[in-house]
Structure 1
Amino acid sequence: MSFQEKASRGRRVRVRALQTSAIFGAMLVAGPAYAQCSPDPTTAYGTTDCTGTDSDGLTVTTSGSRVVVAADAVVRPGSSAAAIINRATDTSFDIKGLVDGGTGKAGLFFTTGPAMSVPCDPYSGATPYYCVPGSTVTTYPSANTSVSVAEGSTVTGAQGILIRLDTGNSNGNIYATISNWGTISGTAGPAIVVDQTGIGTLSVYNYAPGFIGGMSGAVSYVSNSGTIDGGSNAAIASTNSYLNIDNSGTIRSSGSAPTISSDGSAYITNATGATIGGSSTAIRLSDSITLSNAGIVNGSVIVTTTGRQSSAIDTRTGTINGDLILGAGDDTLQARYDATSGRISSITGRIDGGAGTDTVEIGIDSDTTFRTIVLPTNFERFGLLLSNDAIATLAADFTPTTSIRYGGSGTLVNEAALVTVGPAIMAQFGAYGPIFDNRNSILATLSDDSSYAVSGSRIINSGTITANGGSGVSADSNLTNSGSITASGTGASVSYGNIDNSGIIRSTGGTGLTLGYSNTAVNSGSIDGATTGLSLSFGRLTNSGAISGGTTGVALGGTLINTGTGTITGGVSGGALGRCWPMPGRSSAQSTWPRPIPTIPALIFSSIMAAASRARSCWAGETTS
């Protein structure tokens, strides 16, 4: 080997050695992946991707920014206040890896910018309200953001997610939406903390198999099909004026705090197979509650309102393993019933309706006979919610303590002698399907004529119904009477539908029967009123019985067909809508007044009829229309 060749080879070895040293030095400098969120700082309406390990955190200050934390990425705070901080609007965070704030800092921190003094410029939109051009005004920035935590990913820290206004901004608002399939946890208490005043809101969607270690603060909406576990703290402790929870998963806690609490009102749905509770108090509210429970509530439900806010609890297909204590509103409880004990069976503990006028409604989905009803403490009204065309029968030995309401689809049969102060039987508002069938006696003492002893959609009476101080029967669509209805107010009223009366309908102080509209109304019995026998607004009634009124037999606005055996005493009145003439084959000699000449125009004929009919009776076989 020549000298030149040896020299060249030496140079190549030294170059390679320097290259190797440089590479090794670069590796030493790089160490673990660092500052791996890029671009950092973020850009407006751009995307920052975090891969590897970012140990100095990320702060988002640009509107519309999107941050994606990859599945193998780790983001830690370093010297920052949290692993990831958001101060901007219209931002989104897609977490597929680990965001870890450590023991003293939050994983995600959503906040606002501080208040700022800016020149007044109402026309450019720089100030949100009118001001004097040239002056200086203070603006309070707000922020809105959304977070998606993927299955298998984790957001953790002293708080997994902390939402709090900037200390220099007292009037801004933060609006946040969290969608979780992974794990959100907090080492210093609840996983999600909303330290927020004003009208900002937080909506949380926790999907199976997602896990959230509790939440507190201004929480407004929670949809859960996964698990929310507060541990020794509350699972959900809201300071908002309203809280909406839709649960098909598990919401639990194990400490002394209620599993769910709110400083305002709450709307809670607990689906079939879902569970709420674990603490001795499952739900505690300072305002009203609307609870639809088809699952299990383990613990008491307590409402402490002293105002008139009304609560509604439906646990007909679910169970509350604890007490139900309600506040001062006019509350409604819908529950299952044990026919043997006469008590509610879907609540295992004490039931107290509190102040107000409270109603308990029993769900009936199969034929049931009632012999006794034990109303819970401070409940004043009792109702039946029928389904599956069930028949609920009040047995002969049934003794009511209050009015009975009913609704749904089915039939309520009365075989008892009911005596009530106030209405005896009332249909639930909007109940246009159920039937009430009275086979014994009802005596109701009422306060005025606007109250009815019995009201409903379809009513059958073969017994006696008596109303003192008020009206007898109000039927929305159908009344079949073969018994006796007597009232000091209106005897019976049918709004829109049919009536078949073969019994007695009587008013001792007003109108016997008021009929709004009917195509197939029939009377073969007796209708009698102290002032008016029948008030027919529209439609048609066929009379083969007796209709009488102290002042007017029939106040007519529709069509009255008086058959061969029918009598009307007290005259017929109705102005232009009331017209009377003999049926074919009848002679004018059978009338108490002269018949009109057929060629007289109808309007003149009607006027003559209206004036003359006040002092006459319609004979059998006449038609009035």
Structure 2
Amino acid sequence: ELNGTIVNNGTIDGAFNGVSFANGGTSSGALQNFGTITSASRAVNIGGQDISLQNFGEILTSASPRDGVVYTDQSALSYSIVNESSGLIDVGEGNDGDAISLQLGADVTGSVINRGTVIGRGVPVGNNRATAVRLRQGTNTDLSVFNGDIVNEGTLTSETDAAVLIEDGVELNGDIINRGTINGGVVAGSPQVGIDVQGAEGDVTIVNQGTINGDVLLSAGNDTYDGIAGTVNGTVFGNEGNDTLIGGSANDVLNGGVGNDLLTGNSGADIFAFGSEIFQDGLQDFDQITDFEAGDAFDFADEFLGNISFGRETVSGQEAVVAILGGEDNLTVFGNLDAAEQAFNAFV
């Protein structure tokens, strides 16, 4: 147990780890970095409980990191990672790996707050991905639960991967909150994905009050994307489950995927997309658009073309356009009904 704080104002350079809290064991303590912590493998390793990392300086690797520049092993029970506005956590140009990688045990209490700059680089190699923030399941655990939020108020960037990634077998008992900028796949030719939680267990909530450059890929649960105060330059894809997708004032692309989804575009010229997965799942989906406006549009997969019927009905006391897609899926549209009918006519 460290009953105090390690404060670095200079340079810590380790061949294997720069700073390590209980690698696979137990410990507690705090680390404040105002200088530089670097390693050829892993700059900061966190295990144990009640660990606090606060970075005002630079945390770097001089070669491709071992699992992450900042890495929590699955012995870590509780911790907070805060990268302040002057802070940089960077894999390093020419290297491959994750900037912040959390390998989780069965039940972890933690938080990740970024106010500075976090950069994942290169391509996925071995155990490494190339994310800014990654949550991964621990070994020999049926489910890894992370109790806490991931908050970005600065910049999270990945060169070729999702900037934020939650992998299979991980449940986030908290929210992903963006008040800054998230950049996914900034290298030309890379998939542009800002946030990827497709593998996450349970329901995921994302609150976007900043800018996400890249797609947002949600999980198979009943997810919520609240972008009313933000911008996403990409598609918000609900995947499976009964999702709620809320756009902002920009031109959003909302695709609920499979399930009974609630879509709200708000202002801007929004696109409501319906892909082939809805047609192919063999289930009757009931989707709803709350606020179709002039300038909004539909984007239907080829399977629906020529197989859409629609008309006006009263739904819950309000007039709406109700459409049958592909003979089985139901879409109810509120808002500017004349504009909705005109948009439907392009696909009938």
TM range (shorter): 0.5 to 0.7
Q: Whole-Å Cα distance in 2 between the matches of residues 246 and 145 of structure 1?
A: 22
Deviation at 1:113, TM superposition (A): 8.5
Deviation at 1:155, TM superposition (A): 0.8
Report which of the two structures shows the higher radius of gyration computed on alpha carbons.
1
- Taking a change above 3 Å as real, the CA distance of residues 178 and 418 of structure 1, as seen in their structure-2 partners, is same
CA shift digits 1:202-242 (9 cap, x unpaired): 32111111101211124742111110111222111112533
Question: Counterpart of 2:145?
Answer: 241
Secondary structure at the residue paired with 1:310? coil
Deviation at 1:293, TM superposition (A): 1.6
TM-score using structure 2 length: 0.63
What aligned pairs does 1:574-589 form with structure 2 within 5 A after superposition?
Answer: none
Q: Whole-Å Cα distance in 1 between the matches of residues 18 and 228 of structure 2?
A: 42
Question: Aligned residues: percent identity?
Answer: 23
What aligned pairs does 1:312-323 form with structure 2 within 5 A after superposition?
Answer: 312-323=224-235
Question: Counterpart of 2:70?
Answer: 192
Cα RMSD (Å): 3.2
Q: Whole-Å Cα distance in 1 between the matches of residues 240 and 121 of structure 2?
A: 32
Q: Does 1:253 align with 2:158?
A: yes
Question: Counterpart of 2:36?
Answer: 154
Structure 1 unmatched ranges of 5 or more: 1-87, 115-141, 165-172, 338-343, 385-391, 396-416, 426-440, 445-625
- Taking a change above 3 Å as real, the CA distance of residues 106 and 373 of structure 1, as seen in their structure-2 partners, is closer
Aligned residue type for 2:64: A
Q: Whole-Å Cα distance in 2 between the matches of residues 268 and 196 of structure 1?
A: 21
Q: Whole-Å Cα distance in 2 between the matches of residues 323 and 235 of structure 1?
A: 20
Q: Whole-Å Cα distance in 1 between the matches of residues 100 and 321 of structure 2?
A: 55
CA shift digits 1:50-74 (9 cap, x unpaired): xxxxxxxxxxxxxxxxxxxxxxxxx
Q: Does 1:293 align with 2:208?
A: yes
Q: Whole-Å Cα distance in 1 between the matches of residues 120 and 271 of structure 2?
A: 38
Aligned residue type for 2:260: T
Secondary structure at the residue paired with 2:229? coil
Q: Whole-Å Cα distance in 2 between the matches of residues 146 and 355 of structure 1?
A: 45
- Taking a change above 3 Å as real, the CA distance of residues 443 and 231 of structure 1, as seen in their structure-2 partners, is closer
Structure 2 unmatched ranges of 5 or more: 91-98, 105-109, 123-129, 137-143, 186-191, 279-285, 295-310, 323-348
Secondary structure at the residue paired with 1:246? strand
TM-score using structure 1 length: 0.37
Question: Counterpart of 1:206?
Answer: 83
Secondary structure at the residue paired with 1:209? coil
Q: Does 1:215 align with 2:112?
A: no
Q: Is the 8 A contact 2:255 2:272 kept in 1?
A: no
CA shift digits 1:513-544 (9 cap, x unpaired): xxxxxxxxxxxxxxxxxxxxxxxxxxxxxxxx
- Taking a change above 3 Å as real, the CA distance of residues 174 and 424 of structure 1, as seen in their structure-2 partners, is same
Question: Counterpart of 1:32?
Answer: none
Deviation at 1:298, TM superposition (A): 1.3
Q: Whole-Å Cα distance in 2 between the matches of residues 235 and 259 of structure 1?
A: 5
Q: Does 1:311 align with 2:223?
A: yes
Q: Does 1:382 align with 2:289?
A: yes
Secondary structure at the residue paired with 1:100? strand
Question: Counterpart of 2:46?
Answer: 163
Q: Does 1:228 align with 2:118?
A: yes
Q: Whole-Å Cα distance in 2 between the matches of residues 323 and 363 of structure 1?
A: 15
CA shift digits 1:561-607 (9 cap, x unpaired): xxxxxxxxxxxxxxxxxxxxxxxxxxxxxxxxxxxxxxxxxxxxxxx
2:55 to 175, 180, 184: 180
Q: Whole-Å Cα distance in 1 between the matches of residues 207 and 112 of structure 2?
A: 15
Q: Whole-Å Cα distance in 2 between the matches of residues 325 and 315 of structure 1?
A: 13
Question: Counterpart of 2:14?
Answer: 101
Secondary structure at the residue paired with 2:273? coil
CA shift digits 1:250-292 (9 cap, x unpaired): 000102x321111333622222xx2102312221112243222
Question: Counterpart of 1:276?
Answer: 182
Deviation at 1:355, TM superposition (A): 2.4
Q: Does 1:324 align with 2:206?
A: no
Secondary structure at the residue paired with 2:222? coil
What aligned pairs does 1:7-18 form with structure 2 within 5 A after superposition?
Answer: none
